[in-house]
Amino acid sequence: MTTTKKQVIIYYNIFIKGCQQKMKIITFDFDNTIAMSYMDTRGDTPIPVFQEYNYKIIDRIKQNIEEGNDVYLVTSRKESMERYFPEQSIPYHLKQLGLDNYFLPNRLFYTNGHSKYPILLKLKTELHYDDDIEEHRDAWDADYVVKQPLDDFEDGSKVGKTVIFDAEDNILILQRSDEGHYWDLPGGHIKDIEASRVPDGLKDGTEREIYEETGLLMSFMKDFFVYDFKHKGKMHNINMFLSKIDNVQPQIRLDIQDHIENIDYKWVKLEDLEPLLSKCTMNLRKAHAELTTMDVIFEQDEPFQRAMKKKHRNMKRRLVGYGKNKHFGGGKGHSRPKMDRSKSAPPGFGVLEEENDEKSKKKVKIKVKFVKNIEEKRKKRKKRAKKRRKTRKKQAKFAYYGGYFPYYDMHDSGGSGDSGGDGGGGGE
């Protein structure tokens, strides 16, 4: 690419400003940091929906350039796929925003679905903007800071709260820092721009809130119940979810947020919540009432299915989810790619699959029951562990025969489908 006279002038001015002051290295994600969008997956064919540009972030980019700071874009998109969708590509959007003269190829990095962490370290960035909570988690032990671009958007009336069980069925509760210091469930207000992303925006927004309050990354979210609650004259729509993690009482990070919302946390048994109810929020009291009258059942494959759905959504979004036009690019003779999620291999496809193995077709359920009889609980736990061992053994046996490969019709010749994610939420 030949450098134009205009580009030479831009770089000269940046060089002069950089010499006059200490130059900072600032990096930005692209998808759902600069260009906000999502995939509507309610129908048979996912529909790309462009929401808007994040002009506060764009202004921040331009301001850093004017101040002489060194600015880069780092995206998890696959560079090899950009040419198939020219009007959805990052260079196209940069031209639309008047930033193409600055972000030449040496300032635009593609991770091809992988974590941005190695590139950010190599660039020696000081500050990075990214919506993907997994990128925030990766930066815990790094020298750079990651900020959430969604902070520039207003909170909406929808609230996401989650009952999180650990591996021994303890429940995570947080003590709020505001007046009364009430105990509450993890979660908070969802941004309107998140809530509008059907059908998964509420869950993705709740995952983000949970991470910001606790440092936990949720593998799946299960619908629990919904209710409306009026507080200080405002009506709030409370969306309750259930989730479960594999660890036992992991340490919680309360210091991630700039504004500390919680001052303490506990992992407690359901029955141990009763003495605390007078110092609990309405959310926690309602969740307690529901849990004491039911068994909580998690399907063993729920975390896997949630991860696959998120992986599918993120990859498709990076391919076609941007731009105001309705075209899918590619030019003359280009066939529109299939956008529906590929299916698992049918029964009998795996060459080593056992014949007439009815047990392998049954759903394995993890039943979380709250009982005071310790011996009874231990027996049930041993029984569940035995079932899990059998299931893992079968899964290992058939892992590569009749397994699940969701993106065979979309990956390029360079490798398998993307696994990382710009967007929504991760890094869910």
- 3-state SS, residue 284: helix
Task: Assign 258 a pLDDT band (cuts: 50, 70, 90).
Answer: confident
Who has greater pLDDT, 308 or 340?
308
> Rounded to an integer, what is the distance from CA 164 to the centroid of its chain?
17
Give phi and psi for 38, each to the nearest 5: -160, 170
Nearest alpha carbon to residue 359 among 393, 385, 382 = 393
Please name the fold of domain 154-296: Nucleoside Triphosphate Pyrophosphohydrolase (3.90.79)
User: What is the rounded CA–CA span in Å between residue 141 and residue 118?
Assistant: 13
Residue ranges per structural domain of the chain: 154-296
- Give the pair of three-digit tokens for residue 253: 């990070």
DSSP summary character for residue 105: G
Report the alpha-carbon angle 184-186-187, nearest 5: 115
Neighbouring C-alpha atoms within 13 Å toward the C-beta of 112? 10
Task: Assign 2 a pLDDT band (cuts: 50, 70, 90).
Answer: low
DSSP summary character for residue 361: G
Amino acid at 97: L
Percent of the chain residues topping a pLDDT of 70: 67
User: What is the rounded CA–CA span in Å between residue 242 and residue 169?
Assistant: 12
- 3-state SS, residue 285: helix
Q: What is the pLDDT of residue 403?
A: 26
- Give the pair of three-digit tokens for residue 411: 């990956």
Amino acid at 420: G
Who has greater pLDDT, 341 or 3?
3
Give phi and psi for 180, each to the nearest 5: 95, -25
Task: Assign 185 a pLDDT band (cuts: 50, 70, 90).
Answer: very high
User: What is the rounded CA–CA span in Å between residue 176 and residue 257?
Assistant: 13
Percent of the chain residues topping a pLDDT of 90: 56
Q: Which tens digits make up the pLDDT trace of 370-401?
A: 444 445 656 666 777 777 666 655 544 433 33
Q: What is the DSSP string of 166-196?
A: -TTS-EEEEEESSTT--EE-SEEEEEHHHHT
Beta carbons of 318 and 77 less than 8 angstroms apart: yes
Q: What is the pLDDT of residue 404?
A: 24
User: What is the rounded CA–CA span in Å between residue 328 and residue 249?
Assistant: 47
- 3-state SS, residue 18: helix
Q: Bridge partners of 184?
A: 174
Angstrom CA distances, 227 to 224, 235, 264, 287, 308, stand at 11, 10, 26, 11, 29
Mean pLDDT confidence for 362-366? 40
Terminal CA-CA length for the chain: 38
Q: Which tens digits make up the pLDDT trace of 313-353?
A: 555 445 444 444 444 444 444 454 454 444 443 333 333 33
Beta carbons of 32 and 22 less than 8 angstroms apart: no
Beta carbons of 28 and 39 less than 8 angstroms apart: no
Q: Is the pTM value of this prediction over 0.95?
A: no
Beta carbons of 219 and 213 less than 8 angstroms apart: no
Other Cβ atoms less than 10 A from the Cβ of 148: the count is 18
Across 170-184, 251-265, 291-305, least confident range: 291-305
Peptide bond into 199 cis (omega under 30): yes
Beta carbons of 187 and 210 less than 8 angstroms apart: yes
3-state helix, strand, coil in the chain (%, to 5): 35, 20, 45
Q: What is the pLDDT of residue 44?
A: 87
Give phi and psi for 331, each to the nearest 5: 75, -170
The secondary element (H helix, E strand) that includes residue 208 is: helix 201-214
Other Cβ atoms less than 10 A from the Cβ of 206: the count is 28
Q: Which tens digits make up the pLDDT trace of 214-237?
A: 999 998 999 999 999 888 888 999
Task: Assign 41 a pLDDT band (cuts: 50, 70, 90).
Answer: confident
Give phi and psi for 264, each to the nearest 5: -160, 165
Residues across the chain: 428
